[in-house]
Chains A and B, each alone.
Chain A
Amino acid sequence: GAGVSQSPSNKVTEKGKDVELRCDPISGHTALYWYRQRLGQGLEFLIYFQGNSAPDKSGLPSDRFSAERTGESVSTLTIQRTQQEDSAVYLCASSLANYGTASGNTIYFGEGSWLTVV
């Protein structure tokens, strides 16, 4: 598609349930990122994929969070045993990859998945 697509756009779940969030990046973008934005706060980096490997997962807040990616396509972010503090907007983004030195490729964001844990 033309942009980064995320689903569901909104999700309300009960505490303790598992949720899966899906991201479909821009075609041809090999780099894919997940960020989290809590209400009234800035954006936190969660994880980065290059192809289907995740060289940097340093931002995942706990072992309840995991992510995977199929080839250079769709990614899913899974949150197990959700807690109320997991309530946030989960933003997916994609970009062309840089090789060698940083070249500042633009990162394009989706509309986000708004997660509410009750």
Chain B
Amino acid sequence: AQSVAQPEDQVNVAEGNPLTVKCTYSVSGNPYLFWYVQYPNRGLQFLLKYITGDNLVKGSYGFEAEFNKSQTSFHLKKPSALVSDSALYFCAVSAILTGGGNKLTFGTGTQLKVEL
């Protein structure tokens, strides 16, 4: 069975500093990895995904993530944090479903707080 772990419930960072939100995964076969962001009282917004190719994936709002196969990690990063980045971040791994869909298994989420 596939699983995702987000070891930090909360990450605090000062505006302008780099941020990292950690994610590790467990899956048989090739992983398909995703990051989503959830702002208060909103649904999930897609940020980026890793399917194959370059280990560094660039996504929306200046976010990027680095796929590391040996460490089974897919950490989310941003060089310079903004207060508006404060939100709940979910890492997810995908598996194929019968009939062709993708089932996402989510981590428990990491609350990012960016302060002035």
Contact = CB atoms under 8 A, between A and B. Distances in A.
Interface of A: 4, 6, 31, 33, 35, 41-43, 45, 48-50, 53, 55-56, 91, 93, 95, 97-99, 101-112, 114
Chain B contact residues, majority secondary structure: strand
Pick from A41, A50, A104, A111 the residue with the most CB of B within 10 Å. A104
Contacts of B95: 102
Interface stretch (B10-18, B40-48, B71-79): B40-48
A108 to B, nearest CB: 6
B30 to A, nearest CB: 8
A104 to B, nearest CB: 4
6 contacts: A55-B98, A55-B101, A97-B99, A99-B100, A104-B51, A109-B46
A53 to B, nearest CB: 7
B116 to A, nearest CB: 26
Given A97-B101, A108-B46, 10 more contacts: A33-B101, A41-B108, A45-B104, A56-B99, A98-B100, A98-B102, A102-B95, A106-B46, A109-B44, A114-B41
B34, B94, B101, B107: residue with the most chain A Cβ atoms closer than 10 Å: B101
Contacts of B22: none
A6 B34 CA distance: 23
B46 A42 contact: no
Given A91-B43, A110-B43, A111-B42, A104 B103 contact: no
B102 A31 contact: yes
Nearest to B42: A111
A108 B101 CA distance: 13
A102 B46 contact: no
Given A42-B90, A102-B32, A102-B94, A107 B100 contact: no
B103 A48 contact: yes
Contact of B43 (A53, A95, A103, A112): A112
Interface in B58-116: 90, 94-109
